A and B are shown apart, each in its own frame.
Chain A
Amino acid sequence: MADEKQKKDEQKIGRTRQVEDQPVALPGIRRFQSFTNVEDRMLTKNINRAAMFGVAAAMGVAVLKPLFHGMPQTTYCYECRACYATQDKCPGRITEQAELTVASRVLDYRRFILKGGMNCIRCGNCQTFCAAHLDLPKIFGTMQKLVVAAIEEGYVPTGVLAQALAEGKIGRDYLLPVVKYMQKLKKETEKPIPEPELM
């Protein structure tokens, strides 16, 4: 009775990948282990291979993409977020500079715009705090150009642009392309979009 209960416990607790009748050699090790547990294998060999390839490819994309777009420095951002210490000394009212760097790494336009990247005036304040001494102004400048190009191509969702405009996340240097794009859309969809006063 007690033995049965004990066996039940064991089965419930341990992973059963061993022949239970065999004596124990070391804590948890039995003298004979089953050759191959077919049910453990499933049909997963190729899935595992594909997953590993996916992992490696994702890494490759994360490194090669910034290289291709002329921002190789972003690959060695520590993401230690030391740049957050810029605080209210940032004239663009950006609070999370590290997010901008990471967004630049993979050309994540949504994150870059909504974290206030288009407000950056490239003053270099955050650079003084960077632990890896990245040339943040250069990175942000390159990214801003790419964002403008993407907006003109219509790659950036209008929802993002509308939100950014409403929150004042588009710097005055970049208002024109954004507004132009929105006006073009307005002609198409007849949605009322406020026309901001420039200068």
Chain B
Amino acid sequence: MIFYISALLIIGIGIYALIIKKNLIKIIIGLDLIETGINLLIVSIGYVNGKTAPIFSKDVMNASLMVDPVPQALTLTSIVIGASELALAAAFVVLLYRKYGTLDIRKIRSLRW
């Protein structure tokens, strides 16, 4: 249960950073926190009390003793995609800084069209 609660808390902190913070890097950190929280949530959904990792070995050959592999596989994808999204965001931030000389989103107002 604590896993759920802390995952939700992490998500909440992330959303808070996303809205309240004015600094672009803080905003990206907020995004990253949301992603981490969601990954934690998904993996903890798949957890089953008293079962082991879904990897067969010479000791563990019984499939009924394993936790759910599907959330883990999904989270694997999610982490990689999160990292690539982050790299892209970081590149944007650096470019914005080059152009405007600031990280404060209140001063970067060219999103209007």
Is B truly associated with A? no
User: Could you list which residues of chain B lie within 8 angstroms of chain A, going by C-beta atoms?
Assistant: none
User: Could you list which residues of chain A lie within 8 angstroms of chain B, going by C-beta atoms?
Assistant: none
